[in-house]
Structure 1
Amino acid sequence: MKKSRIKSVILAVLLVVVIISLVGCVKLQKKASDDKAADDKKTDDKSDDKKKEEKTASSAKDGAEKISKDAEKIEKTVNATEKTEKKDTTPSKTETKKQETAAEDKPEADDGLPVKKVVEGELVSFPNLKAVDPDGDPITYTFTAPMDSTGRWQTREGDAGEHVITITASDGKNEVSQQVKIIVETKNKAPTITLNSPKEVTVKEGDTIEIKAEATDEDNDPVTITFSGWMDGPTRTTTYDDAGTHTVTITASDGNKESTEEITITVSNTNRAPEITEIADLKVTEGDEVKVDAEATDADGDEVTITFSAPLGAQDGVWTTKQGDAGTYEVEVTATDGEKEAKETFKIIVQSLNKAPVIDLASTTINVDEGETVMIDADITDEENDELTITYSGWMTSDTYQTDYDDAGTHAVTITVTDGINTVTEEVTVIVADMNRPPTFDPGAFI
């Protein structure tokens, strides 16, 4: 369809040119005829002028015939092209690609007008603009607004839309015009970042920072917001190593253009309390010395002072226990850097000093006669009420013994008592007196 239009335009132009040429030829022929009649009355010395006129008429006729033949050739070429296109309606891949490329290079609007596309801010011009004059006459071009006299238009933001211009080519006598549609596309605009947080933020170590930012896009493109620099997201909880000044860059991108905002964050140093190393509970016995070596550290490198509560010495953490101190004591340790302090508690368990059992004898010497029973009277006690083990050794193995008539003499008995820790002993002397027995008859004496 497009080529049919082009063909029509070409034929129309050629027809106009041919008509003009024929009119010129007719005028020249008439003038030549008139001149010939006049020349018949003139002398032969004017024969040279006649020849020139005939030559001019012949040249005009030849020019007209040449133009006519050229027109026929162009028409035949166009017709041949159309026939070729009709004959091969299924273009090859290569031909299709060339046609698509040509269509892209020279787009056409729905109304058949050639289209030139630019983006706001670009220069509109027609560097390949060319018209051909069959007579070789110089051609001048004129353009309608918004093009300037040189065929240029510097577009600006806000010029988006369709603009139809007319380009006219003139040889001074005749002219041809063509409308062209200029489509100015909207120039992509970078997103706009709106900060809902101050651009300069001051916090303390340990605080949490939250940057509130949103982005809008005039072209309604989807926008991605990213954070870079000291933060990789909208929030960050500072640590005690973050003191100083930091920069965060917020970038909003629509995939083509981006905009940025910078935020300065100042993190001030925060003094931290010392930390005391955990102290385990202690167990001691009455009479033992207690010495606590507490350790504390300060993350800021401050000098730390450690003190203790009673019964430990406030400065040295020493306590010498004594009998009667048995019990449980809670001790508090304090570490301070002069501004902040930390506390730690632990227990000191003082166990009673074990006391030995006590053996209380009614008498350490017992006198009996042969045949009597020996009984040791001993009162055994333990202050802690520990379980006691009592043993008798020596002449007796218990606290009672039945003597016979062979036991006369002095005997030693040892009493041993233990509570599992301490052991005590006592000795008892048993004196068995010999008893005189009456004589007796032998059982066989009277047989």
Structure 2
Amino acid sequence: MPLLMVAIGIVALLILIMGLKLNTFVSLIIVSFGVAILLGMPLEDIVGTIEAGLGGTLGHLALIFGLGAMLGKLITDAGGAQRIAMTFVNKFGEKNIQWAVVSASFVIGIALFFEVGLVLLIPIVFAISRELKVSILYLGIPMAAALSVTHGFLPPHPGPTVIAGEYGADLGEVLLYGIIISIPIVIVAGPIFTKMAQKLVPDSFTRQGDITSLGEQKKFKLDDTPKFGISVFTAMLPVILIAISTIITLIQEMAGIETNAFLSIVNLIGNASTAMVISLLVAMYTMGIARNIPVKTVMESCSTAIAQIGMMLLIIGGGGAFKQVLIDGGVGDYVAELFEGSTMSPILLAWLIAAILRISLGSATVAALTTVGLVIPLLGQSDVNLALMVLSTGAGSLIASHVNDAGFWMFKEYFGLTMKETFATWTLLETIISVLGLGFTLLLSLFV
């Protein structure tokens, strides 16, 4: 019965969002109330559960998400992202242009959220394709693959960050293992899959595409942008700080060294929130003050970044509220009982649940958070690595993006594709990333 109530809630969510065109956040809150009542939760506890889920999720994420948005905006507005992209293009040369786009998109994707990276890089991809007379999709698929992988697997992106917070996983471990699986996935889903797509839907590689909806793009003379080294350093600084802290902590555990003042400082600096604060302060200098940009202008960029992510924060909070209803309503315990004694790997189960929810709901974030609510009680029965659980849940939440996902329509319209071509390129691309993500995570589980 509890799973039936969840199914009714998911169908209701689909009707509210797709049928009635209701705002996703509002729909999530309505469904959270409805499912709580259907699950027989005491009426006086429902509001508290929803507030706890919303507050608990945002409490962990808001700082990292907000600072990350500001960091990305400063790098974009200063022209740092354009410098990174064009430097890779010039270094790799015309013959290896796909690898240039993949490399640039991966570095930029770590600093920028998926939609921001897409809007920033697509005009650059269009300009390169015109100059070199190659298909825009030939460059567009590797770009989308790199952005999607960083979005799905690497903190400080909201998906892996919020899942790690809910599971209680170490964010540094998630980052370390995420990078290990991301590199081969990007190679396969980018340049290698592009060759396959050219055989599947050759006509899609003749499309002209249309980016007029993106409006007037800010253009920079390359000499007026920050240098390549400082641009990459600023974009990668959060990852560098978190990674250093994680490696030192792993060495400490392996060597059996007791915690001391130095290690405490390292852990503080390597905490995701602290790393983002330090990175933002560095970006204010490297992307602003050092280039004689007034502090007022730098602050305007930060304010704009926060305004742009407000609704996304609410949607993540709404997903957290729904997740908490599933936990407090006993659905998670019911799933745990259902799989008690099962030989199925929790990693595979988390991926499977997230994949089903992603295909049903469209939103990767909502699918991931709902999965967390169902899977958390299972973790007490297993000694599975929590960082790998984060990656498998993230992988499942990426699968088969189709008509109920905004990313599907963005890719279709920007590259001028038909529905069939979008399914054969974008939907298949996301599915390959998801399945490879599961495969590499299971492989890693043999060693960690």
TM-score interval, smaller chain: under 0.3
Larger strand proportion of the pair: 1
Query: Relative CO higher for 1 or 2, CA cutoff 8 Å, sep ≥ 6?
Result: 2
Q: Which TM-score applies when normalising by structure 1?
A: 0.20
TM-score where L is the length of structure 2: 0.20
